[in-house]
Amino acid sequence: MDSTDNNNIVPPVITTTSTSTTSTTTTATTAAATTATTNAAPSTVSSGGATNDQEDVGVSNASVNESLAGLSHHKQGIPDGSYRSVDVNGQWIANKLKEREHLYTEKKNMTIFLGTWNVNGKKPQEPLDPWLCDPAMPLQPDIYAIGFQELDLTAEALLLGDTTRSLPWEQKILESISNEYVKIMSRQLVGILLCVYVKKEHRQHITMERSDIATVGIMGMMGNKGGVAIRFKFYNTSICILNSHLNAHLENILRRNQDMKDIAKNIKFVVEDNNIITMFDHDQLFWIGDLNYRIPLPDAEVKEKIKKKDFYSLFLHDQLYQQMKSGAAFEGFQEPPISFAPTYKYDAGTDVYDSSEKKRTPAWCDRVLWKTSKTAENVGILTYRRHELLSSDHRPVSGSFIIKVRAVIPEVKNRIYQEIVKELDKKENDSMPDATISTNLIDFESVKFMVPVTRTIVLENVGQVIARFKFIPKLNEKILCKPWLKISPFAGIMLPKEKITIELTVYVDSTTSYAFNVANETMDDILILHLENGKDYFISIMGSWKPTCFGNTLENLVRYQGPLVGTQPMPVEQKKLSIPKELWRMVDSLYSNNGMAEENLFIVSGVSKEIEQIKECLDTGTPFPAFSNHSMAEVIIRFLEALCDPVIPFTLYQQALDGSSAVLSCKTLVSHLPSVNYNVFFYLISFLTEVLSHHDQNSLSADKLAIVFSTVLLRPSPTNSALVQQSTDATIVKKKADFIKHFIHSHNNI
Amino acid sequence: MNNNNKIFQFKLVLLGEAAVGKSSLVLRFVRGHFLDYQESTIGAAFLAQTVCLNDTTVKFEIWDTAGQERYHTLAPMYYRGAQAAIVVYDIRSQDSFERAIKWVKELQRQGSPNIVIALAGNKLDLAAKRKVETAEAQQYAEENGLLFMETSAKTAQNVNELFVEIAKKLPKTPNPRPGSGRLPIPPIENNNQRKKPCCSN
Ligand SMILES: Nc1nc2c(ncn2[C@@H]2O[C@H](COP(=O)(O)OP(=O)(O)O)[C@@H](O)[C@H]2O)c(=O)[nH]1
Ligand SMILES: [Mg+2]
């Protein structure tokens, strides 16, 4: 459930990123913007921080991953797939099914028989047929609810809760009603017993059977008066039956009224989902029993009216009728018209009203009432009668009614269920995001060292809902794309009909050129663009890389005897060149072109067109075109700067700085360089010494040259952001220059 | 039918050579139509569809994948965690049948342990140009414990039936584990520890 809630949470990362990206145009600013916004976002992005490399400005995944860390964080809140949880769907379907109940149910008339008899403590003697299966009964009832009072007047029942006396009565019931019936439930409270039976064919449609009792005896503790209730669901209709024995005696009207209210208040049932309901939470409520209301008229008058069968005028004096009319008790209950003589009090075994000294006035103590809920259809009255069983001082009474229930038509319900399920599927599928993508193939064509190439993809939301997209890594991979590729934006959100342009930029610098120049990897990849809750798009990336000495390694370059373009490297074990021939070609051409005498050589910039031509010639092996010495000098610097690992390798950078003030430690360090690096280092030193010897023409000094060359020969690893940041500090610049200067000065001494 | 309300959710993936009719089968099953020109899938598409059985309801989360060989390496992303797979071939192409067999083998080796695999010989409406005999495919399916059906996305023949058979065969455990219905997104790590282009050792 909470996962559904989570689904609504848009992490700040996504929102901010997407707003920034829609407005950005150039790749550089996008990179900055992305980094800025993600850094500004709250702690969602914290996981990426530790190894973050701020120097990675030009290209790449760094900021991307940092933001993605935020995304994946968000993802954790929603276990994949579970927010379209089965339970939630099931619930929705159940609700819809309920709404359409009228379509797959049919009304059926059911009859219910309710009987009540105060047996005055007698054990069963005569068959109950005259009461329970009166041949005059128009229909065989679907349900029997049979209530007794004073079934057990013994002290054991009262004090110990002994219920053994009920068994013979239940036995007697079964003898009368046919074996087409099964018991749903019975419940006893001392002398009050209620048994409910149903026709076998309906048994499976009786559900949620519950019972409860309520005592209204002395201080509510003794069960000699009170009520027993059984409730259940019959098809779709909830039914509650209460059998009660209220307090006796003519004058106790208010007491009886109060008994009724106490019982009604105290009866409770626990039903589905732990809901607690009362008697009044049912479609049909029947209240039967010895309610003990009397007729406050002189005995002779009552008997006279009975003799004349003038029940109507007698009924007008009935206490229960009076109480119900005034609303003092049994509010909202109804009773079928009484057309039978009072059922109390007889001399047991006879047809004679009480002949004892007490001479109790006859009364309708035994009644059947009902109350239909406002939302249910009222019952139909079939019969309301008394029955001539003589063993007690009461006569049994019965009321039978028609109840309308709704029965499920299984085939129809099944069909409607399927319709609902299909409807949900359709809604779900329609509400999935959909987008079109302008191309699935991006070809960067020819890619050059440190020259960014950008291609765009247009993504358009053609679905009916907001589409959230993001690039995702392949299985078992952690990065979205190769480090030489930058995706901007890599995640975002589109309103329906909205388009977004995604820029893909390849940029290969010395941190990524190794793959192509040395490891011979191709520029192929497949990106996965994922629409949240929807489809994935594959985007193939292609590009062609021309091998170049820029962004290469010294070790690799000395394996090429010919130009990089078009020659194969010599096998590793074979003899190598002592230094890269490209370096030799450049230095040599400066010599030939009288470069040594050029004023401010290495200080003045070259001409970019010439620089590009020189680079091209270096890689293809073709002769240099006419060039200015400044252009050639700049290419030398750029060549050294682009080496994947500088002449003094990254691993020795810190050591070189630390020892820069001591000649000896600098020399020791250099003597331990790999042989190619060592060769190149001294080749350059001798060249610089040569340059310095022309200082009257070129106005250069050892200091100037040391500063220029130390920045390219002695570089910190770009992955170490702290070192990179410090490397332009004045003290560090000086240390680096000092390192080189030791060699330029003392060259002749080595 | 009381059980109707129990919904079991399964991830199903479609695999097979390009143009054999994977997307068309899904479209027929889910939306009930067929397109003569079905755009080829470059990626993976997701749809949901429910099958009502007599006593239970099975909800499929269907992943339709790209069949082109160049995307082969990405397929595990989609069949991973799938409890069911339909491997499709075109009855007019022996090659596509061979490819289907390769997919079956890959699934048996690397798919979910109890994955229910169905082999579908599609384009049955074009049986006049048949190259793969029913008996041959049937036998292969039997030997490998696969469901087998020849289908036509165009005429709808056997399409629902195929999904119903799969739904029936899937184990209805009391506590349905929908697997990873959606694409699993592995945690992203910072990419700063790049492979060092270094030759100093
Ligand atoms: N005649 C016929 N054509 C089909 C059938 N299924 C698919 N097609 C067609 O075959 C082509 C490829 O179908 P598609 O669903 O895109 O194949 P996929 O690449 O496997 O997804 C489309 O032009 C479809 O219209 C079929 O059962 N009968
Ligand atoms: Mg397809």
CB contacts < 8 A, A to B, total 181
Q: What is the pLDDT of residues A676-685, one digit of tens each?
A: 999 999 999 9
Distance from CA of B141 to the nearest CA of A (A): 29
With H, G, I as helix, E, B as strand and everything else as coil, classify residue A23: helix
Mutate-to-test residue for ligand 1 from B22, B24, B90, highest number of ligand atoms within 8 A of CB: B24
**Residue A23, burial from CB neighbour count under 10 angstroms (0-12, 13-18, 19+):** exposed
Is B74–A528 a contact, with Cβ atoms under 8 angstroms apart? yes
Amino acid at A691: V
Task: Give chain B's domain count.
Answer: 1
Question: Nearest 10 degrees: CA dihedral of A14, A15, A17, A22?
Answer: 130
ipTM of the complex: 0.86
Give pLDDT, residue B46. 92
Q: Do residues A644 and A692 both lie within one domain?
A: yes
Give pLDDT, residue A153. 77
Q: Is B1 within the bounds of a domain?
A: no
Q: Is B162 within the bounds of a domain?
A: yes
A142, A180 Cβ separation under 8 angstroms: no
- Residue A449 CA to residue A552 CA, distance in Å, equals 10
Ligand nearest to the CA of B90: 1
Q: Is the peptide bond before A426 cis (omega within 30 degrees of 0)?
A: no
Q: Do residues A540 and A592 both lie within one domain?
A: no
Contacts of B150 (CB under 8 A, 6+ apart): B91, B120, B121, B122, B124, B134, B137, B157, B158
Q: Do residues A265 and A127 both lie within one domain?
A: yes
Q: Do residues A704 and A596 both lie within one domain?
A: yes
Which residues in A lie closer than 8 A to residue B8 (C-beta atoms)? 86
Q: Do residues A392 and A442 both lie within one domain?
A: no
Is A425–B181 a contact, with Cβ atoms under 8 angstroms apart? no
Last residue within a domain, chosen from A410, A426, A451? A410
Give pLDDT, residue A246. 95
Is B8–A84 a contact, with Cβ atoms under 8 angstroms apart? no
Cβ–ligand 1 contact at B65 (below 6 Å): no
Per-residue confidence band for A45, with pLDDT thresholds at 50, 70 and 90: very low
Q: What is the pLDDT of residues A318-354, one digit of tens each?
A: 999 999 999 999 999 999 999 999 999 999 999 999 9
With H, G, I as helix, E, B as strand and everything else as coil, classify residue A264: helix
Q: Do residues A593 and A660 both lie within one domain?
A: yes
Per-residue confidence band for A87, with pLDDT thresholds at 50, 70 and 90: low
Average pLDDT, integer, range A110-121: 96
Cβ–ligand 1 contact at B47 (below 6 Å): no
Q: Do residues A354 and A225 both lie within one domain?
A: yes
Q: Tens digit of pLDDT per residue, chain B (201 long)?
A: 444 467 899 999 999 999 999 999 999 999 999 999 888 889 999 999 999 988 889 999 999 999 899 999 999 999 999 999 999 999 999 999 999 999 999 999 999 999 999 999 999 999 999 999 999 999 999 999 999 999 999 999 999 999 999 999 999 875 444 443 444 343 333 343 433 334 443
Q: Is A241 within the bounds of a domain?
A: yes
CATH label of the domain that carries residue B179: 3.40.50.300
Q: Do residues A598 and A517 both lie within one domain?
A: no
Per the structure, the complete domain to which residue A695 belongs is given by 571-749
With H, G, I as helix, E, B as strand and everything else as coil, classify residue A80: coil
- Residues of chain A with pLDDT > 70, as a percent, come to 86
- Is the pTM of the predicted complex or chain greater than 0.80? no
Task: Give chain A's domain count.
Answer: 3
Q: Do residues A527 and A586 both lie within one domain?
A: no
The 8-class DSSP code of residue A200 comes to: G
Q: Is A425 within the bounds of a domain?
A: no
Query: A33 pLDDT exceeds 70?
Result: no
Give the neighbor-by-neighbor strand order of the sheet with A366-372: A206-215, A226-234, A237-245, A284-290, A366-372
Is B188–A68 a contact, with Cβ atoms under 8 angstroms apart? yes
- What is the Å distance from ligand 1's center to B21 Cα? 4
CATH label of the domain that carries residue A532: 2.60.40.10
Q: Is B200 within the bounds of a domain?
A: no
- Residue A396 CA to residue A418 CA, distance in Å, equals 51
**Residue A276, burial from CB neighbour count under 10 angstroms (0-12, 13-18, 19+):** exposed
Q: What is the pLDDT of residues A352-393, one digit of tens each?
A: 999 998 889 999 999 999 999 998 999 999 999 999 999 999
Q: Do residues A405 and A457 both lie within one domain?
A: no
Residue identifier of the C-alpha nearest atom 23 of ligand 1: B37
Per the structure, the complete domain to which residue B90 belongs is given by 6-190
Q: Is A386 within the bounds of a domain?
A: yes
Q: Do residues A255 and A313 both lie within one domain?
A: yes
Q: Do residues A522 and A577 both lie within one domain?
A: no
- Residues of chain A with pLDDT > 90, as a percent, come to 74
Q: Is A18 within the bounds of a domain?
A: no
- Does A577 reach chain B within 8 Å, measured CB to CB? no
Average pLDDT, integer, range A211-217: 88
Q: Is A426 within the bounds of a domain?
A: no
CATH label of the domain that carries residue A579: 1.10.555.10
CATH label of the domain that carries residue A121: 3.60.10.10
Per-residue confidence band for A154, with pLDDT thresholds at 50, 70 and 90: confident
Average pLDDT, integer, range A196-209: 96
Q: Is B195 within the bounds of a domain?
A: no
